[in-house]
Amino acid sequence: MSPSLLARQQRELQALVRSPQSVPTSGLLREPEAERGFSVYQQAYRARLISALRDNHEVLHRALGDAEFEALALAYLHAQPPRHASLRWWGDGLADFMASLPVAGEASTESDLPRQQGQVLPHAALVDLARMDWALRMAFDAAESEALSAEDLRAVQPEAWPALRLRLRPGVQLLSLDWVVAPAWRRLRREALDLPAPEAGAEAEPRPLAPPEFGPHLCLVWRPQQETRWRSLAPLEGRLLQGLRSGCSFSDLCELAAEQLRDVEGADPAGMVVGCLQGWLQERLLLPLARP
C-alpha cells in the first residue's frame, strides 16, 4: 500500500468514526460485514464523548436524567464536534449552545427546530447549571499560585494605597447567571455524589425539586486550595470584583462603591471596600502583589 493511499484511508477512517454519513472512496468498507462491524467503533466514539461531557457536567446530567442528557449531548456533538486533542475541553460551548435552543412552553420560530435537530430545553435555568458545572471544572484545573496575605498588605505604605492594583488568582471566575439556581444546585450535587441531606431528620423521600426563580446575579467560583468553592455575590461586591478584574486601582474601587451606595445614607464606601478586601484575603482570591 502506498503512503498516499494509507494517509487517505486514515483520513477517511477518522471521518467515518466521527460521521456515519461519510462516504469512503479508497476502498474502505467494501463488504457489508465490514460496514456492520465498523458501526461498533462509531457507537463507541459517541458513547465516549457523551461520557466525557457527563463527567464535566455532573449536576446538569442529574437535572436532565440519562435520556435527555444523551439527546442534548448528541445534538451538541452534531453542532460542535470536538476540535481539541483532549476530551477534557469538549464542552466549553455547551452552555451557549443550550442558550440557543428553544425552551419548552415558550414561543419559538419553526426554523429553530431543524437547525438544532428538534432539541428543546425543559427549563431555561438549565443553561445556568451548565455554566456552573463548567466554571467549577475550570477552577479545579486552574494553574497553581500563591495567595496574597494580610502581612503583604500591611507592608504597603499609606501613600501607595490609592494606586494599588490587586489581581485575581487563576481560576477565579465571575459568572453572570439569570436564575437563582443555588438551592437546586446544592441538592442535585448531593444526589450526584450520593451524599445525605444535611438537614436533621430529612425525609426519606425528598420533595420534588422546585423550579428556580428568575433573578439575574453574579456568582463567584474559585479554588482556594484543593477544593472548588462558589457563592452568590451581593450587587456591591460583584461590582467591585468586576472592577478589580478589569484593572481598577484601590481608589477606583472606592469610587465604584460610592456610586453603588450613593442613595444609602451614612454609607462608608472606603470602609465597604476594605471589608470586602478582608473577605477576599480569607478566601484566597488574590494574587501576591506585583514586585517592582
Q: What is the DSSP string of 245-264?
A: HTT-BHHHHHHHHHHHTTTS
Residues 230 and 117: their CA atoms lie apart, in Å, by 34
Q: What is the pLDDT of residues 153-201, one digit of tens each?
A: 999 999 999 999 999 999 999 999 999 999 999 999 998 888 776 664 5
Question: What is the reported pLDDT for 3?
Answer: 67
Burial of 95 (0-12, 13-18, 19+ CB in 10 A): buried
Delimit the domains of the chain by residue range.
32-124, 135-196+212-282
Residues 250 and 87: their CA atoms lie apart, in Å, by 41
Would you say residue 8 has pLDDT above 70?
Answer: no
Under 8 Å between Cβ of 182 and 125: no
Q: What is the pLDDT of residues 247-287, one digit of tens each?
A: 999 999 999 999 999 988 888 999 999 999 999 999 999 99
Shortest CA distance to 191 belongs to which of 180, 202, 201?
202
Mean pLDDT of 71-91: 89
Question: What is the reported pLDDT for 113?
Answer: 43
Q: What is the pLDDT of residues 84-132, one digit of tens each?
A: 878 888 999 999 999 999 999 876 554 444 444 568 999 999 999 999 9
| CATH code of domain 135-196+212-282 | 3.90.930
CA-only gyration radius of the chain, Å: 25
Looking at every residue in the chain, the average pLDDT score rounds to 86
Q: List beta partners, residue 230.
A: 221
DSSP codes of every residue in 159-175: GGSTT-B--BPTT-EEE
Would you say residue 68 has pLDDT above 90?
Answer: yes
Question: What is the reported pLDDT for 41?
Answer: 75
